[in-house]
Amino acid sequence: MDLLNRSRASQVGVRRLRRHLPWLAVLSLWLVVAACLSFPSRRSEPSFPHRVHVVDNQLACSFCHGGVLTSDHASLPPPELCGPCHERFDGDKPPERRLRAFFDAESRYRRVAPAGPGGEVRFSHRQHAAAAGLQCTSCHADIAEQDAVPLQAIGQKTLCMDCHREHGQSLACATCHTTIDATWRPKSHSGQWQKRHGACANGQSERSEDRCELCHQDATGCNACHQQMAPDDHTQTFRVRSHGLMASIDRTRCQVCHTQDSCQQCHESTRPTNHRAGWGTSQQRHCVGCHLPLADTGCAVCHQDAPSHQLATPLPGDHNPGMSCRLCHGNGVRLPHPDGGHACTACHR
């Protein structure tokens, strides 16, 4: 009996727990939200307003970033440099907007953008700002107008290459990279890369390892290779049946090797697979199986002297396009052509 009573009590407890599960779930969610709100957000940390200093107060970039003309890295200003000005008007500001709020305990800026390209990329502020005489906005664009420091990498490969090209500077990899040169292969260029590279090339990714044109020139790269090596999908089925569909989707791919003349020469001498028995009989079933009215001109590749389909008999004066033609025509009287179920007014206008 004791065992039976304990079993019943356990079942009652399970049922009570199930009734309270929705409330427990709501309570758990509320606790998670409250815990998240209790942690300080990085967004509450102040970010340096360039507009106030550069535009409103006309401070030069080199006033704060003194090392920009003398070293490879642009240094950040210490609080001692900012203090003489801020001591005059920080008194009326809330603590989170005063000078010390921008620095941590070790006098370092709390929120800063990445110091440079990083990795194995070489970049010298001194060579660009002092030696070459470039303005800061050449790389940093409209940062002078911004009220917050952008926390993403500023340097872009396309920006650097366009600038080097405009000023007649070298575009060789070793100019800016310490280990990458013309013989370097990205990590993606391994394994089944020969089969996978097409999707990568068509993906238009901005990552350096996905941009073929950085290493492969068109004259000695893609076209030269594809003109000698047939793609893997050029099977017998592709040749006989499916190549037409692929050409209609992306004809530029075919034109790497095949000109328009070669397509017409083949189709003029090779009978299409759909030209089977009954294709050209007196019932003229081919016009139904070939195209919707006026929707395809592929027949003209071979049948150049065929009468124009635009010469169909016009609608009589007492007809209008809203009428149902089949109530009279073809209802017990044979039509001069097969009825494919298309709108008659597509030809008879």
| Residue 262 C-beta-side C-alpha neighbours within 13 Å | 6
Q: What percent of the chain has pLDDT over 70?
A: 70
For residue 208, give the nearest of 137, 127, 119 by alpha carbon.
Answer: 119
Residue type, 110: R
Asked if the model's pLDDT at residue 259 lies above 80, the reply is no
Q: What is the residue type of 170? A: S
CA angle 76, 79, 82 (to 5 degrees): 90
How does DSSP assign 169-201, residue by residue? ----GGGTBSS--TT---TTSSTTHHHHHHHHH
Confidence bin at 268 (pLDDT 50/70/90): confident
Question: What tens digit of pLDDT does each residue of 121-154 get?
Answer: 888 888 898 888 888 888 888 888 888 877 665 6
Interatomic CA distance for residues 129 and 260, integer angstroms: 53
Q: Are 215 and 172 in contact, with CB atoms under 8 Å apart?
A: no
Looking at per-residue pLDDT, the higher value among 193 and 25 belongs to 193
User: What does the pLDDT average to over 40-57?
Assistant: 74
Report whether pLDDT(220) > 60.
no
Q: Domain residue spans in the chain?
A: 2-39, 50-175, 218-271
CA 312 to chain centre: 47
Handedness of CA 127, 129, 132, 136 (dihedral sign): positive
Indicate the residue type of 224: A
| pLDDT score for 15 | 61
Q: CA 279, CA 287: separation in Å to the nearest integer?
A: 9
Which residues, 6 or more positions from 302, have their beta carbon under 8 angstroms from its beta carbon? 267, 268
